[in-house]
């Protein structure tokens, strides 16, 4: 039932309504609103009950194992939220003067410093509000670099065929043509194809390492050399940073620019689809082009750097300082981890992924890259089940929901058929992983013995499978 269906005309929530408000007399009648505002008229208790009950229809990290590959669904520590919402932070206006902002700016400065160390990059800007904005900033900086050299022949960005969809979409927004580079049988970039593809038209390459295939790109140094020798730059998609914290630094691999998804590695909440935060780090040659604002420290005082300080900046990406409150949560988390904790995060994220991979293999599941280590994630392909039993990865995913597990990422990356991209993260216990493995084994048996149950799943959730075709054809996008 929608909240509007609980509405009664004239019901008001007096505790939440400003009192004794006088009529407005100094705005001309023609400029005022005449039509009613179709918002619900419900009590505070009705509202609390409605949204509490809605929340209970969600899977979430706080209620279920959520092994969603490429999304790093780790525990979001409660303390990070509580401390970021302290009144001094929550009520700070973005235009507050520096003398009323030193506490907040100190946190941001230290976050910049920690991210520099973790990534091996020379400078960091916290400005981008999400991974896709970080990507945009990165590619726009690559363009600014070539433009500054007067090199306008470079019209192409190379993207591996396994890349996340935001990579090619971003390159297009920066007016680059996208050329796809194939992946070889072991999950590495096809270096010969790369050699053939680079040239004076190459502006750069967008790479994720560990790749979206859940493996470490072993020939990364060679790839970096090939692209650099052709005059292009290397862009690092930092979606998969969790398993390499303290193990290997993108700066050392030869990357010129990186974005980080703080809502993944640094555990800020996914919030049902956002907000994220996508800081960017750069090598020496891209420093002038970093997005503003950034935080600097002068004579023990912190202040924001703006266009005035950074005349060659690629620009501004948000009205103020990006998703500032998300950055604060990430800072608190990073400070809690410390350098010792970060190494352990990488260790145990990798341990959990390899344990899950090996046990699923022993249980008879087919791995996409059988002779590789898992990084923080790995891929199972269900193509045999699909071919022999007509049970798809999507059917497996929906049936897992009945078992109380959120489904892994399905059908991504697109080049592995019927795939599950599985990422357990370091915060899950061995017991939870074992439970998931048992569920997978059980569904595999059901797929053969009780196919109908699997292909018509889920059976125990608030709704059965939804009619997506109807949703797109008979658009019903609001109650008005």
Partner 1 sequence: MPFIPHTDAELKEMLAEIGVNEIEELFDEIPDELRATGLDEIPLGKSEMEIAQLMHQRAGEDQRALCFAGAGAYEHHIPAAVWELTTRGEFYSAYTPYQAEASQGTLQLLYEFQSMMTGLTGMDVSNASLYDGASSLAEAVLMAVRANRKSKTKRILTPKTVHPHYRAVAHTITRHQGIVLEELDYDQQAGCIDLNSLPNDPGDFTALIIPQPNFFGSLEEVDALTDWAHQHNALVIAVINPTSLALIKPPGEWGDIGADIVCGDGQPLGAPLSSGGPYFGIMCCRQAYVRQMPGRIIGRTTDLNGNEGFTLTLQAREQHIRRSKATSNICTNQGLLVTAATIYMSLVGPQGLFNVARASHNNTKYLVEKLSNVAGVKKIFTRPFFHEVVFEFDLPVSEIKHALSAQSIVAGVSLDEYYPELNNCLLMCATETKSKADIDLLVENISRIASRLESSKRPAQPKTA
Residues 414-433 that bind partner 1 (CB under 8 A): 426-430
**Does an H or E element contain 329, and which?**
helix 324-362
Tokens representing 381 are 């392909």
Q: Tell me the three state secondary structure of residue 264.
A: helix
Hey, which residues between 173 and 202 contact partner 1 (CB under 8 A)? 173-175, 178
* Closest distance of CB 254 from partner 1, Å: 9
Indicate which single residue of 398, 418, 422, 443 sits in contact with partner 1 (rule: CB under 8 A). 398
Compose the 281-300 pattern: x for residues touching partner 1 by CB under 8 A, - for all others: ----------x---------
* Closest distance of CB 394 from partner 1, Å: 10
Q: Which is nearer to partner 1, 57 or 311 (CB)?
A: 57
Indicate which single residue of 87, 300, 311, 370 sits in contact with partner 1 (rule: CB under 8 A). 87
**Contact of 32 with 3, CB cutoff 8 Å:** no
Report angle CA 258, 260, 261 to the nearest 5 degrees. 150
- Choices 75-83, 148-156, 197-205, 440-448; region in contact with partner 1 by CB under 8 A: 75-83
* Closest distance of CB 383 from partner 1, Å: 21
* Closest distance of CB 196 from partner 1, Å: 20
Contacts 24+ apart (CB under 8 A), 191-194: 191/219, 191/222, 191/223, 191/226, 194/158, 194/223, 194/226, 194/227
Hey, which residues between 314 and 333 contact partner 1 (CB under 8 A)? 314-326, 328, 332
* Closest distance of CB 125 from partner 1, Å: 13
DSSP string, 163-181: S-THHHHHHHHTT-EEEEE
Hey, which residues between 93 and 122 contact partner 1 (CB under 8 A)? 93-97, 99-104, 106-107, 113-114, 117-118, 120
Indicate which single residue of 65, 67, 69, 77 sits in contact with partner 1 (rule: CB under 8 A). 77
**Contact of 267 with 333, CB cutoff 8 Å:** yes
- d(Cα 280, Cα 46) in Å, to the nearest integer? 43
**Contact of 131 with 170, CB cutoff 8 Å:** no
Note whether 441 binds partner 1 by CB under 8 A: no
* Closest distance of CB 347 from partner 1, Å: 5
Compose the 199-238 pattern: x for residues touching partner 1 by CB under 8 A, - for all others: ----------------xx-x-xx-----------------
Indicate which single residue of 42, 206, 226, 330 sits in contact with partner 1 (rule: CB under 8 A). 42
**Contact of 251 with 273, CB cutoff 8 Å:** no
**Contact of 242 with 72, CB cutoff 8 Å:** yes
* Closest distance of CB 299 from partner 1, Å: 17
Hey, which residues between 448 and 477 contact partner 1 (CB under 8 A)? 456, 458, 461-468, 470-472, 474-477
Hey, which residues between 330 and 389 contact partner 1 (CB under 8 A)? 332, 334-345, 347-348, 350-352, 354-355, 358-359, 372-374
- d(Cα 264, Cα 266) in Å, to the nearest integer? 6
Q: Which is nearer to partner 1, 334 or 384 (CB)?
A: 334
Query: For the purposes of burial, counting CB atoms within 10 Å of the CB of 268, is it exposed (0-12), middle (13-18) or buried (19 or more)?
Result: buried
- d(Cα 71, Cα 423) in Å, to the nearest integer? 8
Q: Which is nearer to partner 1, 387 or 436 (CB)?
A: 436
Indicate which single residue of 65, 109, 112, 133 sits in contact with partner 1 (rule: CB under 8 A). 133
- Choices 65-73, 225-233, 382-390, 446-454; region in contact with partner 1 by CB under 8 A: 65-73
Q: Which is nearer to partner 1, 172 or 229 (CB)?
A: 172
Question: At a CB cut-off of 8 Å and minimum separation 6, what does 251 contact?
Answer: 119, 120, 121, 122, 258, 281, 283
Q: Tell me the three state secondary structure of residue 223.
A: helix
Hey, which residues between 136 and 165 contact partner 1 (CB under 8 A)? 136, 140, 143, 164-165
- d(Cα 68, Cα 196) in Å, to the nearest integer? 35
User: What length does the chain have?
Assistant: 480
Question: At a CB cut-off of 8 Å and minimum separation 6, what does 408 contact?
Answer: 67, 68, 69, 380, 397, 400, 420, 421, 422, 423
- Choices 280-288, 306-314, 382-390, 447-455; region in contact with partner 1 by CB under 8 A: 306-314
* Closest distance of CB 407 from partner 1, Å: 6
Indicate which single residue of 121, 124, 130, 419 sits in contact with partner 1 (rule: CB under 8 A). 130
Indicate which single residue of 237, 270, 416, 423 sits in contact with partner 1 (rule: CB under 8 A). 270
**Contact of 243 with 220, CB cutoff 8 Å:** no
* Closest distance of CB 468 from partner 1, Å: 6
């Amino acid at each position: 039932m929608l909240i509007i269906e609980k509405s009664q005309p004239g019901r008001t929530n007096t505790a939440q309504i400003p009192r004794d408000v006088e009529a407005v007399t100094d705005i001309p009648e023609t400029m005022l609103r005449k039509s009613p505002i179709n918002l619900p008229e419900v009590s505070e208790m009705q509202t609390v009950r409605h949204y509490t009950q809605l929340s209970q229809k969600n899977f979430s990290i706080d209620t279920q194992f959520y092994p969603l590959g490429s999304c790093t669904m780790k525990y979001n520590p409660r303390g990070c939220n509580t401390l970021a919402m302290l009144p001094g932070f929550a009520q700070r206006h973005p235009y507050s003067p520096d003398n009323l902002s030193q506490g907040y700016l100190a946190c941001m400065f230290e976050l910049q410093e920690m991210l520099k160390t973790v990534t091996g990059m020379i400078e960091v800007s916290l400005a981008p509000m999400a991974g896709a904005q970080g990507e945009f900033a990165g590619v726009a900086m690559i363009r600014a670099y070539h433009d500054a050299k007067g090199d306008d022949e470079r019209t192409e960005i190379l993207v591996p065929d396994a890349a996340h969809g935001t990579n090619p979409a971003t390159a297009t927004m920066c007016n680059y043509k996208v050329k796809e580079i194939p992946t070889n049988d072991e999950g590495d970039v096809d270096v010969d194809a790369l050699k053939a593809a680079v040239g004076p038209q190459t502006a750069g390459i967008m790479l994720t390492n560990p790749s979206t295939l859940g493996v470490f790109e072993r020939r990364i140094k060679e790839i970096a050399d090939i692209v650099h020798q052709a005059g292009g730059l290397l862009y690092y998609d930092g979606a998969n940073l969790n398993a390499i914290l303290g193990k290997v630094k993108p700066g050392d691999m030869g990357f010129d620019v990186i974005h980080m998804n703080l809502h993944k590695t640094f555990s800020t909440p996914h919030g049902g689809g956002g907000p994220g935060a996508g800081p960017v780090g750069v090598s020496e040659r891209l420093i002038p082009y970093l997005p503003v604002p950034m935080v600097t420290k002068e004579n023990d005082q912190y202040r924001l750097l703006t266009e005035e300080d950074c005349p060659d900046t690629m620009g501004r990406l948000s009205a103020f300082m990006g998703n500032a409150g998300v950055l604060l949560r990430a800072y608190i988390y990073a400070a809690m981890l410390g350098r010792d904790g970060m190494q352990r995060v990488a260790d145990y994220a990798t341990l959990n992924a390899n344990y899950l991979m090996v046990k699923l293999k022993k249980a008879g599941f087919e791995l996409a890259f059988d002779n590789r280590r898992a990084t923080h994630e790995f891929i199972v392909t269900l193509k045999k089940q699909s071919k022999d039993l007509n049970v798809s990865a999507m059917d497996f995913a929906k049936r897992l929901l009945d078992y109380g597990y959120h489904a892994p990422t399905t059908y991504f990356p697109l080049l592995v058929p019927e795939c599950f991209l599985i990422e357990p993260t370091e915060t899950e216990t061995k017991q939870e992983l074992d439970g998931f493995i048992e569920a997978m084994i059980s569904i595999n048996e059901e797929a053969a013995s009780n196919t109908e149950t699997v292909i018509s799943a889920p059976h125990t959730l608030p709704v059965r499978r939804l009619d997506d075709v109807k949703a797109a054809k008979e658009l019903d996008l609001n109650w008005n």
